[in-house]
Chain A
């Protein structure tokens, strides 16, 4: 009885998922495994092996890994301050600071990235300012560094929030106990805080790495059209060359990488504790 009722409640979502997730996915698979005439082929998949495509994939993997690493390094100290571990942080102040931190996230992603484009441009706001101070200009726009910067800027909150969440679950007295037993701050971090916040870290990694890997907006706006990531290649196949078959084939390859990284993260985080924000 109860079961039937719950199934009934989930009907809207199932219909939604069918139309907007399952059907498009099936279409991607259909296009990915056929050529223009509709005949079966795997050439769209193997096309990843061509120099141009594999270079875009490796560059995307490389830049996403770097961005994720930078996000971890930036997010941990920040999350420690924002969480209850942050010394002398009263409960109210905590919430307030997290609020301030996530405020920019409510602004449109595209808008934020365009803003950075304007700021970073060779004759942009930052360089005009540096010029005013007779400092050397910042030549960063249209380089991989700018892309990494954009990824870190846009995706950092997705690392910080699960970390804050995981750190808030650690009993302060557990940290005190480690200190009490003689551990210095570094030992306390490595042996207690890090392992206990691992679920948060893992979900943070997933939530930064995957969007970084698949992005084409950040690379488009901050990397110029010269630096192509796999996301840009796929986007161009769909929009510029109208080659839906090749675009779908490459998407399937990218999907495999995403699935692998999710599987890896669930192996590390069996209970999936940290994913709920």
Chain B
């Protein structure tokens, strides 16, 4: 992908004694769709505010296009933001809201009118030009906030949970719209969400954050299939996280049973965390499995059944298209390739920081 557009170097930020970001390092490529993903309060908005210029980091630098912009005023940055709570100008009509940035830049009336029409069409609110923001629903206001930002054709668009107030259908439509828009305008997106599904669908790169630390950076496939630690595995999708011992390369012991796997280089007799995705757990006849268990619960989920299987004291989460009624004795098998081994954090602190490789 393109060259580095934004670099965050050793960014730290505290409010009083609350350290929100700690030595954060991150770079964003031109044209990239980068998503900051993490639980509430992990510092996603704070990171965006630092890039947007509304917050100055205590230490560290923000580099944009090779220039240090750490203390540059927000209005001088080639970045536009879609704020988490829309932040529309309540004393202006929708059209005036959208026109705000363009009027500041002294664009011609015809140009502005064109842009308003284009933007309203894009967010599917063509008839709303003369309405006041207060008369719109949350989802409509959110779309206006997106329209207001994109008409300025920024180099980078910062979006803070821009689809949070939308229902599922509209949300999916807007996801496609945003991706289309991004490709059409050729701009870089830095996107914040705590919805892992949204992150997996839309992003080129996902940055998983927790308590101000980056847990893992990678492509959606990467993050999903090879989580680096239990936090990431747990946060992204459902998973079975079991502690075990790495006997030696390609052999791991979990729940007192030895399993073949494909991971190497963890050492000998090392404590590890093992992740197995529910869709990778195969239910077979009792004596054909690696371990034996009994189905304890079953929920129909549409595409598949979600089952809970008790085996060797661990409740396995299993997704399968074939049904095994509650009480069935089953065997559990897992393809060695689908057993994901992760270093075990040795302290609470390390758990937050994530494990360096």
Contacts and interface: CB of A to CB of B under 8 A. Distances in A.
A41 interface: no
A177 B152 CA distance: 13
Interface string A174-213: 1011111111100100011001100000000000000000
Nearest to A176: B54
Chain A binding surface SS class: helix
A173 interface: yes
Interface residues of A, number: 17
Q: Which of A179, A195, A196 lies at the interface centre, i.e. has the most chain B CB atoms within 10 A of its CB?
A: A179
A177 B91 contact: no
A183 B148 CA distance: 14
Interface in A9-62: none
A180 B89 contact: no
Interface stretch (B98-106, B202-210, B247-255): B98-106
Interface in B40-76: 52-54, 73-75
A57 B33 CA distance: 68
A257 B161 CA distance: 53
Contacts of A183: 75, 100, 104
Contact of B85 (A171, A178, A180): A171
A178 B89 CA distance: 9
B104 A181 contact: yes
B88 to A, nearest CB: 8
A180 B104 contact: no
A181 B52 CA distance: 11
Contacts of A174: 87-90
Contacts of B91: 195-196
A180 B81 contact: yes
Contact of B75 (A173, A179, A191, A192): A179
Nearest to B99: A181
A173 B73 CA distance: 15
A174 B89 CA distance: 6
B191 interface: no
Contact of B74 (A180, A187, A192, A195): A180
B100 A171 contact: no
A244 B104 CA distance: 60
Given A182-B75, A183-B75, A184-B75, A177 B87 contact: yes
Contacts of A187: 104
Interface string A153-176: 000000000000000000101101
A177 B74 CA distance: 9
Contact of A181 (B54, B90, B100): B100
Given A174-B89, A195-B91, 18 more contacts: A171-B85, A171-B87, A173-B83, A174-B87, A176-B83, A177-B81, A177-B87, A177-B88, A178-B100, A180-B80, A180-B81, A180-B149, A181-B148, A181-B152, A182-B75, A183-B75, A184-B75, A196-B91
The 6 closest A-B pairs by CB, nearest first: A181-B101, A173-B87, A179-B74, A177-B87, A182-B104, A174-B87
28 contacts: A173-B84, A174-B87, A176-B74, A176-B83, A177-B81, A177-B87, A177-B89, A177-B148, A178-B100, A179-B53, A179-B73, A180-B52, A180-B53, A180-B75, A180-B149, A181-B75, A181-B104, A181-B149, A181-B152, A182-B75, A182-B152, A183-B75, A183-B100, A183-B104, A187-B104, A192-B89, A195-B91, A196-B90
Interface of B: 52-54, 73-75, 79-81, 83-85, 87-91, 100-101, 104-105, 148-149, 152
